Amino acid sequence: MIALLVRDMRLAVRAGGGFGLGLAFFLIVCILVPFSVGPQSQLLASIAPGVLWLGALLACLLSLDRVFALDFEDGSLDLLASAPLPMEGVVSMKALTHWLTTGLPLVVAAPALGILLSLPTQGFMWLFLSLLLGTPALSVIGTFGAALTVGLKRGGLLLSILVLPLYVPTLIFGAELARRGAAGMDTQTPLLMLAGITFATIALLPIASSAVIRINLR
Amino acid sequence: MAMHVENLAVSRGGILILEGIDFQLSAGQALVLRGPNGSGKTTLLRTLAGLQPIADGKITYDIDSVAYAAHSDGLKQMLTVRENLEFWSSVFGTGNIDEAVEAFFLGPLLTRMAGALSAGQKRRLGLARLLVTGRPIWVLDEPTVSLDVEAVARFGETIKTHLQSGGSALIATHIDLGIPADILDVTPFKAKRPSLPQLDGAFQ
């Protein structure tokens, strides 16, 4: 399974691998929002957590259709299915690769972009924490959506429609945690809810994803 | 006995393709599947590889002894030949690619990107994966596509060596590989029933 992770990371950073796609999109969104909203730092500061979270979510969505599609097209998914790896392990590694190549760069870049959006000082730590805790759920849920649509030509549209409602709880509690943190309010409830959602998806969804992949390979 | 198939029926997309297939495959034996295009050879092989559910009947074998090679080789264009092979060797836990490299003349190509290989070279790399898996039963779907005459002869030799070391092979092919093999024509097993009795493609 480590071999699969190493291979996918290597593919992601080589030419045409799609590493940085989500990050570039996130940068563009966060750079353009202050221009479109105008120079009102008060207003920007209050929408900053929400905008950063929405940008991160859409950036995650952008690279999801690559998770299984490339392996399906060149036949490696069939070969992986007949290899001595549990399919649950394969999909978990795919989700982890997606998080390392898309989610983690967003988490690291978000505080820097918070400056552009006039995020209050005490909010930076909470923004970082909320994204660090929330983006794994985005990757795992997204991998489930990618598993559902593997084998469909141009399944990206269907994938987005399937995944968006599943992303809503993560978005609500993630953005709420960042907002409360920035406003200096109590953060315990959204923190626990966000952590709960993330750990539950990591525990349960790989099993569903692997079942769906096996069905889609038939 | 490497594999024992009894009264097997296979289906694709809920449509029954073949039924009543019986054969045995013992260690050191090669079995060549024949049949026109669309007769169900690929579906049968995918079922034996564990990728399709069994529609009816029974296969007695160790599923973890099967190495499957499909039409597409599962190569990553942006990885070198060595990286492609080493990936599969670590997935299958064998850790040695030298034998496979030698058998398929891949030595001079090891540092080349798989995307820069010719169709025949890609095919050789795809087949080299079989040796890397270290598994005894080879299930091969049209393995000689895009291979030249010399490479086909070499591949025949590789299969012979594999059989002599106690392996077995099940091959769907239209050409003569020059190996001692039994022939199984799938045409007589064409399904007469139009579809499955209880059709629940996803959750059976």
- Looking at residue B199, its pLDDT comes to 53
Is the CB of residue A75 less than 8 Å away from at least one CB of chain B?
A: yes
Q: How far apart are CA B88 and CA A83, in angstroms?
A: 9
CB contact B200 to A (< 8 Å): no
- Beta carbons within 8 Å of A52's beta carbon, 6+ residues apart: A30, A110, A113, A114, A117, A119, A127, A131, A178
- Output A200 or B175, whichever has higher pLDDT: A200
Structure confidence at residue A140 (pLDDT): 95
Q: A165-197, pLDDT tens digit by residue?
A: 999 999 999 999 999 999 888 889 999 999 999
Q: Which residues does chain B have within 8 Å of residue A71's beta carbon, measured at their own beta carbons?
A: 74
Ordered DSSP codes for chain A: -HHHHHHHHHHHHSTTS-TTHHHHHHHHHHHHHHHHH-S-HHHHHHHHHHHHHHHHHHHHHHTTTHHHHHHHHTTHHHHHHTSSS-HHHHHHHHHHHHIIIIIHHHHHHHHHHHHHTT--TTHHHHHHHHHHHHHHHHHHHHHHHHHHHTT-TTTHHHHHHHHHHHHHHHHHHHHHHHHHHHHT---HHHHHHHHHHHHHHHHHHHHHHHHHHHHHH-
The confidence score (pLDDT) of residue A193 equals 94
Nearest residue of chain A to residue B86 (CA atoms):
A3
**Smallest Cβ distance to B92: which of A11, A15, A83?**
A83
Whether the predicted pLDDT of A21 surpasses 60? yes
Interface touch A78/B70, C-beta < 8 Å: yes
Check if A211 contacts B (Cβ < 8 Å). no
pLDDT at B23: 87
Q: Which residues in chain B touch residue A4, judged by CB atoms under 8 angstroms apart?
A: 87, 91
Q: What pLDDT is stored for residue A108 in this prediction? A: 92
CA distance, residue B71 to nearest chain A CA (Å) = 8
B78 touches chain A (CB under 8 A): yes
List chain A residues with CB under 8 Å of B116. none
**Cross-chain residue pair B91–A82, CB shorter than 8 Å:** no
Yes or no, beta carbons of B79 and A218 under 8 Å apart: no
pLDDT at position B20: 85
For residue A126, the model assigns a pLDDT of 92
Chain B residues with beta carbon closer than 8 angstroms to that of A14? 78-79
Tell me if chain B has a CB within 8 Å of the CB of A86: no
- pLDDT at position B204 is 45
| pLDDT at A132 > cutoff 70 | yes
Q: State the pLDDT at residue A192.
A: 94
* Digit-coded pLDDT (tens) for A33-76: 999 988 888 898 889 999 999 999 999 998 888 888 888 888 88
Give how far A130 is from chain B: nearest CA, Å. Answer: 35
**Do residues B21 and B9 touch, judged by C-beta distance below 8 A?**
yes
Question: CB distance from B144 to chain A under 8 Å?
Answer: no
pTM value is 0.87
pLDDT tens for each residue of chain B, 204 residues long: 678 888 888 888 778 888 888 888 888 888 888 888 888 888 888 888 888 888 888 888 888 888 888 888 888 888 888 888 888 888 888 878 888 888 888 888 888 888 888 888 888 888 888 888 888 888 988 888 888 888 888 888 888 888 888 888 888 888 887 788 888 888 888 887 665 555 555 544
Which of A79, A84, A215 lies nearest to residue B74, judging by beta carbons? A79
Tell me the percentage of chain A whose pLDDT exceeds 70: 99
- Cβ of B58 under 8 Å from any chain A Cβ? no
